Amino acid sequence: MSELATVHTPSIYSNIEKQTKKVGFNMSSDRYVGSLLKTLVASKPKGNFLEIGTGTGLALAWIVDGMDAGSKVVSIDNDRSLTNIAAEAFTENSQVQLVCADGEQWIKQYKGEKLDLIFADSWPGKYCVIEQTLELLKVGAFYIIDDMLSQPGWPDGHQEKAQALMEYLEDRADLHLTKMSWSTGIVIATKI
Ligand SMILES: C[S@@+](CC[C@H](N)C(=O)[O-])C[C@H]1O[C@@H](n2cnc3c(N)ncnc32)[C@H](O)[C@@H]1O
């Protein structure tokens, strides 16, 4: 198959990518995940979306590209040097709310309407406060994580953590799960 996910990047993408390279940030999700996010987001008109772990905003660019005019997204990161790059990129877009805060605290305190899709791309929402995070999903909403295929550079103990997370998600009766050995290892869950 040709490199389908590498074409038609969001118009804002190459600018953010340049800034990302400049600051040497190398934890961005790849274009496969990005295009998947865009596709899923587009299935939720007037959607309410959350990304945990903004980074410089590359995955966010895909999310925004999939949104209709009635949708909105909140993206959280605790590193202002990164969120500043995203903030510059999305400054004109009132559908995007960037929050520079600890994700764990934000999730615990969130009292807003339930969400249509959560992309949990940080420690919070994935390896901690997972229960509270899944609680924020509407029925029919998506929960997405990447980086689930083991990597040579993983720190000691991370393989076990990833395995435990997978088992936890599989054991939940309120999720339909698909595990994909594609990109960096994706899990898509639908809340039932
Ligand atoms: C994998 S990167 C996110 C990449 C981004 N989603 C993308 O694809 O471009 C994970 C991010 O989580 C952020 N982070 C780490 N711990 C955090 C915490 N406790 N609260 C909020 N953000 C955190 C890091 O600063 C980092 O930018």
Domains of the chain: 4-191 (3.40.50.150)
Q: Name the percent of the chain in helix, strand, coil, to the closest 5.
A: 35, 25, 40
- Kindly give the number of the ligand 1 atom that is closest to the alpha carbon of 123: 16
Q: How far is the CA of 77 from the centre of ligand 1 (A)?
A: 5
Tokens describing residue 76: 């959280």
Q: Which residue in the block uniquely carries the two structure tokens 């949990």?
A: 120
Full-model pTM? 0.97
Cβ-count burial of 128 within 10 angstroms (0-12 exposed, 13-18 middle, 19+ buried)?
Answer: middle
- Return the sign of the alpha-carbon dihedral for residues 137, 161, 26, 107: positive
Identify whether the C-beta of residue 164 lies closer than 8 Å to the C-beta of residue 140.
no
The preferred substitution site among 83, 121, 122 for testing ligand 1, maximizing ligand atoms within 8 Å of CB, is: 122
CA–CA gap between residue 53 and residue 146 (Å, rounded)? 12
**Strands of the sheet with 48-52, listed across from one edge:** 96-100, 72-77, 48-52, 115-120, 137-145, 186-191, 175-180
Residue 111 Cα, ligand 1 centroid: separation in angstroms?
Answer: 22
pLDDT band at 152 (very low <50, low <70, confident <90, very high): confident
Packing angle of the helix pair 31-41, 58-66 (nearest 10 deg):
30
> Any residues with Cβ below 6 Å from ligand 1, and which?
27-29, 51, 53-56, 58-59, 76-79, 82, 102-104, 121-124
| Residue 138 alpha carbon to ligand 1 centre in Å | 23
Q: What is the mean predicted confidence (pLDDT) over 2-22?
A: 84
Matching residue, tokens 């909140």: 74
Confidence of residue 3 (pLDDT cuts 50, 70, 90): low
Q: Which atom of ligand 1 is nearest to the CA of 59?
A: 8
| Cβ contacts of 155-161, under 8 Å, gap ≥ 24 | 161/127
> pLDDT digits over 38-66, tens only?
999 999 999 999 999 999 999 999 999 99
For residues 149 and 126, what is the distance between their CA atoms, to the nearest angstrom?
A: 15
Tell me, in angstroms, the distance from the centre of ligand 1 to residue 71's CA.
22
pLDDT tens digits for range 94-124 = 999 999 999 999 999 999 999 999 999 999 9
